[in-house]
Chains A and B, each alone.
Chain A
Amino acid sequence: MTARLELVPEDRSAEMALARRAVAGDEAAFETIYRANAGRVFGLCLRMGGSRERATELTQDVFVHVWQRLASWRGDSALSSWIYRVAVNLVLSNVRGEQRRLTHEMPEDDPKYLQAESRNPTTEHRLDLEQAIAGLPRGARTVFVLHDVEGYQHAEIATMTGTAEGTCRAQLHRARRLLMEALNR
C-alpha cells in the first residue's frame, strides 16, 4: 500500500499501550482509538458503500470487528494501518455479498444503472465527483476508489478482491470512462 495510511502521528509504544488497555476492556481507550480512526474509516465506507446510511452501518461493523480482533494486532504496522486494512477487507467482503444478491436485479454492465442513479434531484444538474463515484456500478467503484482515491496498486487490489489483475485494470478504465460521461453530462 502506498498512500494515505498513516492517520495519526506514529508513537507505537503509546499505541500499543492504548490497544492493550482496550483489549483489557477499557472502553475509554477504545473510544480514543475510534475517534482517531473513525473519519478515515467512514470516508472509505462512504465511497465504497455508496450512501451515508450504509457507510454508517459499515463503520459500526468495522469497529466492532476491530474491538473483537484488537488482541491480534502485534504492532508490526501502525494501528491506523491495521484498522484501515480491517475496514477495507470488511467492506470488500460486504460489497461482494451485496453484488451476489443484486446480480439479477442490476446488471453490472448496464449503463442505465448509472443514469438511473444520477437522475435523482440532487444530481440532476451537475454531478460532482463524489456523487459520480457513488453512482458507479459496484465493481467499477470498488476498483476506482481503491486505486485512484486510496492509492492501492492493481496487484494489491486483485489480491484483496480475489480477481485477476487484468480485470482490475479493465474495471478502473471503465470507471474513469463512466465518471467522465457522468461529469460531462
Chain B
Amino acid sequence: MMHDHPDIETLSAYGDGELPALARTRVDAHVAQCTSCRGALAQVRALVASAAALPPDAEPPEAAWQEIRARIRREAGPRRVRRARRAWIGVGALAAAAVVLVAGNLLSRPGRSDKHFAGGTSAAVAALPAGLASVDRNYVASIAELRGTLEQQGRSLSPHTVRVLEHSLALIDTAIAEARAALAADPANAALAGILSAQYEHKLGLLQRVTKLVPAT
C-alpha cells in the first residue's frame, strides 16, 4: 500500500485512467483507505465535470462585427478594381472578346441555359415546399452570381469549350426542370428534393470549375 498521499496531478492522471498498471494499483489501494484522497479525487472529477458544463458561447460586443465589416470592405476594394481591369484588358483583344461575348451570352442570358428556373422562377418556386423554396432561391442566387463573376472577369473560352459547356448546362437544366416539376407535384418527396439539390450542386460545381480553371484574359 502507498503510504505517501498521491499529489493532485497524480490523482488527475489516475482519474483519467492514464497511470501505468503498477502505479494505478497502488493509488487504488491508497484511495480505498484514505478519506482525504477520496475527497481530493472527487474534487478533481467535479472540476472536470464543471469545465465540460461551461456554456460554449459568449456574446461578442456588437462593435466586433462593425470592425470585421470595415476590414473586409477594405480588402474587397482592391479586388473589385482588379476585376474591372481584367475585363477591360480582355476587351482589347478582339478574338478573345468575341469568344467572351459568346461565353457571356451563354452564361448570362436567362433565355436558354437557365430558362427552366430564370424564366418561370416565381411560379415554380412558389410551388415548392416552403423550406426548399428558400434553398432554391439561394441556389439560383449563387448561380446568378457565378455567371456575373464570369462575365465581369471576361473569361476567355475556346469555341469548343463553349459548346461543351453549353451542352452540359442544358443537360443539367433539363434535369433541374424535371426534378422541380416532379417536386411541385409531390412536395413531400425527400428523394426528389435530394435530386434537385444534387443537380443544382452539379451546375454550381461546373460553373465554379470554369471560373477557377480558365485563366482570366
Contacts and interface: CB of A to CB of B under 8 A. Distances in A.
Chain A: interface secondary structure?
helix
Contact of A39 (B54, B57, B75, B141): B57
Interface stretch (B59-67, B170-178, B182-190): B59-67
Contacts of B50: 129
A24 B146 contact: yes
A100 B181 CA distance: 62
Interface string B136-176: 00110110011011000000000000000000000000000
A64 interface: yes
Interface of A: 3-4, 11, 13-14, 16-18, 20-21, 24-27, 30-31, 34-35, 38-44, 46, 52, 55-56, 59-60, 63-64, 67-68, 129-130, 133, 144, 148-151, 169-170, 172-174, 176-177, 179-180, 183-184
Interface of B: 7-10, 12-13, 16, 18, 43-44, 47-48, 50-52, 54-61, 63-65, 67-69, 71-73, 75-76, 134-135, 138-139, 141-142, 145-146, 148-149, 197, 200-201, 204
17 contacts: A14-B134, A17-B135, A21-B141, A24-B142, A38-B64, A40-B57, A42-B58, A42-B64, A43-B56, A56-B60, A56-B61, A56-B63, A60-B64, A60-B68, A64-B68, A67-B72, A129-B47
Given A25-B76, A174-B9, 20 more contacts: A13-B135, A16-B204, A21-B141, A25-B145, A30-B72, A31-B65, A39-B57, A42-B58, A60-B67, A64-B75, A67-B72, A68-B75, A169-B13, A169-B16, A172-B12, A176-B9, A176-B48, A177-B7, A177-B9, A177-B12
